[in-house]
């Protein structure tokens, strides 16, 4: 069944879709079963980007989002400060999203309001931008307030998905005779919790792996169930003269926990004892400052981080109770700020979220169920060898990231004798292989994204951030769309075809910060990286207008199969015309004479000869 018939039979005409790009609430009408190409369970940062990319490639896509908002941690969880993938590392849909934010606020510099991120914004603005990105795509349907509750293999590629209205309080859904089914050829788990993995019976892991399991020096000696904290973020607005919220006796019992979140209330500011730096109030309140006198409350030190026990993932009744407690914890910290710290001017913003309590619709989940396969990303995949400026380079890159191994655990701040100690090495710009998306249990129609990809607990610290999750989602969408058009399994789609689609969409597959999408050298740099000319020992900034070092020229020409094209032995000098011979000299845009050849000109010429 084509999507036009799908919508007509469901009572959702195309004209209605154009005016209302997604549907919320009871949609179970008409026929009890539907067909589409791709079903994506989860409309968060990764799932929505997967849907957008797949639809742009012509696939028919249905996204199932349990919450009332799309965007996940970008919007619905309120984490409206993009972490990592700065400058040219934010290509593809990340670039589109950032540019739309810049258009809204007047410039890209207008987003640099908080010191934690170059790109800060109000959640409702981000959500509006995502809706605008969805609206033109008439093969993409986003259904809110529903979730997948059944997964059945009905053929070599066909999967029948049971769809049920979601419990807004995060408890288990109640299946009824009114439930519908959607048959698809590709299913993507892009949920915040990895719920699709469990639904489909795909092997997964919760908690930390041991050194023996992964070979990671920073892993614990024995595996355990420690997971990164979740956070119920809050968006606050400055309202001078506002009164503090009422404080109960129960609230006050918890206020001691918040001591030393700032210097304003810290009886013993011994940083070795506390396990963290104690910041001033000004440093705290400007951490994630947003436009229009707002701040994102997502502070890691004795504030609104909250434990993520394994039971929260495996028991939906427990999840509901635990997330209610996490909300209460955040509100207690807000009351603590207003009373004990004396800053009642910071109030919950009432114009951000479609919720009665003015908190985000969903919590910020940093770590979830993680796929287990034979290609799990490990510490060695994101940490450079020796003095290299980037992690080991891979030929099948489909996404990039650059954030550090950032882990949130409240237990990091316990007294030293009972503290959870994690000492991670410094990582650098890294690439992601599509192998982290594919299960190896014989299910050829399943893909996994968001925080549930095949990574270790350690590596989750740098792959869980919004931009890299968006870029991985975009890659998943490209893979899924090619699988549909080819009639093949997603894992069988040739990687070069996926890479070409992603490059066409402006996605960097190799980080060069000063050569972003839209730059004249974007494709030449990416092409040379995919051909193995640019590698892990090469710089992360090209500085295209600067003179080309002869040392680089010799190295890159040799890797490109032209060892005799650069004739100089003075590798400490800049490259000149007389140092270049043969076809490479002919490919230069001009005769430089005794002047230095620029890096950009050399890259352009070398790329033209390697196509």
Q: What is the pLDDT of residue 31?
A: 52
Residues 220 and 235 in one domain: no
Residues 481 and 564 in one domain: no
Residue 476 lies inside a defined structural domain of this protein: yes
| Residue 178 binned pLDDT confidence (cut-offs 50, 70, 90) | low
Considering 462, 481, 509, which residue would you say is the last residue of a domain? Answer: 509
Residues 68 and 212 in one domain: yes
Q: Which residues of 136-173 are buried (b: 16+ CB within 10 A; e: fewer)?
A: ebebbbbbbbbbbbebebeeebebbbbbbbbbeebeeb
Residues 15 and 123 in one domain: yes
Query: pTM for this one?
Result: 0.94
Residues 247 and 263 in one domain: yes
What are the tens digits of pLDDT across the range 567-579? Answer: 876 667 899 999 9
Residue 360 lies inside a defined structural domain of this protein: no
Q: Measured between alpha carbons, how far is 255 from 272 in angstroms, rounded to an integer?
A: 22
Residue 514 lies inside a defined structural domain of this protein: no
- Alpha helices by DSSP H, listed for 38-190, are 45-56, 92-105, 123-134
Residues 187 and 254 in one domain: no
Considering 470, 487, 509, which residue would you say is the last residue of a domain? Answer: 509
Share of the chain above pLDDT 70, in %: 94
> Where do we find the tokens 């719920």?
195
Q: Measured between alpha carbons, how far is 38 from 140 in angstroms, rounded to an integer?
A: 10
Lowest mean pLDDT among 37-41, 130-134, 577-581: 577-581
Residue 261 lies inside a defined structural domain of this protein: yes
pLDDT of 15 over the 50 cut: no
CB 76 within 8 A of CB 52: no
User: Which CA distances in Å does 145 have to 125, 168, 319?
Assistant: 21, 8, 17
Residue 446 lies inside a defined structural domain of this protein: yes
CB 15 within 8 A of CB 21: no
34: domain CATH number? Answer: 3.50.50.60
Q: Measured between alpha carbons, how far is 166 from 151 in angstroms, rounded to an integer?
A: 16
The total number of structural domains in the chain stands at 3
Residue 516 lies inside a defined structural domain of this protein: no
Q: Measured between alpha carbons, how far is 224 from 221 in angstroms, rounded to an integer?
A: 9
Residues 162 and 267 in one domain: no
CB 44 within 8 A of CB 21: no
pLDDT of 289 over the 90 cut: yes
Residues 13 and 129 in one domain: yes
What are the tens digits of pLDDT across the range 208-256? Answer: 999 999 999 999 999 999 999 999 999 999 999 999 999 999 999 999 9
Residue 65 lies inside a defined structural domain of this protein: yes
User: Which CA distances in Å does 93 have to 336, 452, 467, 477, 595?
Assistant: 38, 20, 9, 12, 40
DSSP assignments along 137-156, one per residue: -TTEEEEESEEEEEEEE-SS
Strands in 33-35's sheet, in edge-to-edge order, are 33-35, 180-184, 159-165, 146-153
Q: Measured between alpha carbons, how far is 340 from 395 in angstroms, rounded to an integer?
A: 55
Residues 440 and 583 in one domain: no
Residue 357 lies inside a defined structural domain of this protein: no
Q: Measured between alpha carbons, how far is 327 from 333 in angstroms, rounded to an integer?
A: 10
Residues 278 and 221 in one domain: no
Considering 348, 376, 409, which residue would you say is the last residue of a domain? Answer: 348
Nearest 10 degrees: CA dihedral of 58, 64, 68, 70? -40
Residues 205 and 64 in one domain: yes
| Residue 172 binned pLDDT confidence (cut-offs 50, 70, 90) | confident
Residues 30 and 131 in one domain: yes
Q: Is 71 left (phi over 0), alpha (psi -120 to 50) or beta?
A: left
Q: Measured between alpha carbons, how far is 255 from 382 in angstroms, rounded to an integer?
A: 39
Structural domain that includes position 87 = 1-226+366-509
């Amino acid at each position: 069944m084509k999507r036009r018939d799908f919508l007509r039979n469901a009572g959702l005409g195309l004209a209605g879709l154009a005016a209302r790009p997604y549907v919320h609430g009871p949609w179970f009408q008409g026929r009890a079963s539907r067909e589409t190409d791709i079903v994506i369970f989860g409309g968060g940062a990764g799932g929505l980007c997967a849907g957008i990319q797949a639809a742009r490639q012509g696939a028919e896509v249905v996204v199932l989002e349990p919450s009332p908002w799309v965007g996940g941690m970008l919007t619905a969880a309120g984490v409206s400060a993009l972490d990592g993938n700065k400058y040219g590392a934010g290509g593809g849909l990340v670039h589109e999203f950032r540019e739309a934010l810049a258009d809204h606020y007047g410039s890209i510099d207008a987003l640099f309001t908080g010191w934690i991120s170059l790109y800060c914004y109000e959640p409702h603005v981000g959500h509006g931008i995502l809706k605008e990105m969805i609206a033109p795509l008439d093969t993409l349907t986003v259904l809110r307030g529903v979730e997948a509750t059944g997964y059945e293999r009905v053929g070599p590629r066909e999967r029948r998905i049971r769809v049920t209205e979601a419990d807004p309080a995060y408890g288990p859904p109640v299946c009824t005779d009114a439930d519908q089914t959607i048959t698809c050829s590709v299913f993507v788990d892009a949920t915040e919790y990895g719920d699709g993995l469990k639904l489909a019976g795909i092997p997964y892991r919760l908690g930390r792996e041991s050194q023996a399991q992964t070979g990671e020096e920073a892993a614990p000696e024995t595996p355990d169930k420690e997971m990164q904290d979740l956070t119920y973020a809050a968006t606050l607005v400055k309202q001078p003269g506002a009164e503090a919220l009422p404080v109960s006796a129960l609230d006050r019992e918890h206020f001691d926990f918040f001591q030393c979140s700032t210097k304003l209330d810290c009886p013993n500011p011994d940083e070795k004892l506390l396990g963290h730096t104690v910041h001033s109030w000004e440093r705290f309140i400007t951490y994630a400052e947003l436009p229009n006198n707002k701040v994102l409350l997502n502070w890691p030190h004795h504030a609104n981080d909250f434990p993520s026990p394994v039971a929260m993932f495996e028991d939906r009744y427990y999840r509901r109770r635990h997330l209610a407690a996490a909300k209460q914890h955040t509100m207690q910290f807000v009351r603590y700020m207003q009373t004990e710290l004396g800053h009642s001017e910071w109030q919950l913003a009432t114009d951000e979220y479609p919720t009665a309590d003015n908190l985000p619709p969903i919590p910020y989940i940093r770590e979830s169920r993680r796929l287990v396969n034979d290609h799990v990303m490990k510490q060695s995949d994101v940490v450079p060898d020796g003095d290299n400026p980037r992690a080991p380079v891979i030929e099948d890159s489909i996404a990039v990231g650059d954030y550090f191994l950032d882990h949130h655990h409240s237990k990091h701040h316990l007294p030293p004798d009972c503290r959870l100690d994690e000492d991670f090495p410094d990582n650098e710009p890294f690439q992601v292989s599509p192998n982290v998306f594919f299960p190896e249990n014989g299910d050829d129609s399943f893909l996994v994204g968001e925080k549930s990809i095949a990574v270790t607990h350690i590596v989750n610290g740098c792959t869980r951030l919004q931009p890299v999750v968006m870029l991985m989602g975009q890659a998943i969408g490209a893979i899924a769309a090619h699988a549909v058009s080819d009639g093949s399994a997603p894992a069988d789609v040739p990687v070069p075809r996926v890479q070409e689609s992603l490059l066409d969409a402006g996605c960097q597959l190799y980080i060069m910060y000063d050569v972003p999408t839209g730059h004249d050298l974007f494709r030449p740099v990416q092409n040379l990286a995919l051909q193995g000319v640019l590698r892990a020992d090469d710089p992360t900034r090209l500085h295209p207008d600067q003179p080309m070092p002869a040392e680089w020229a010799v190295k890159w020409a040799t890797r490109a199969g032209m060892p005799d094209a650069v004739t100089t032995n003075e590798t400490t000098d800049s490259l000149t015309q007389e140092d270049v011979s043969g076809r490479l000299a002919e490919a230069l845009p001009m005769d430089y004479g005794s002047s230095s050849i620029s890096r950009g000109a050399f890259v352009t010429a070398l790329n033209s000869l390697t196509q």
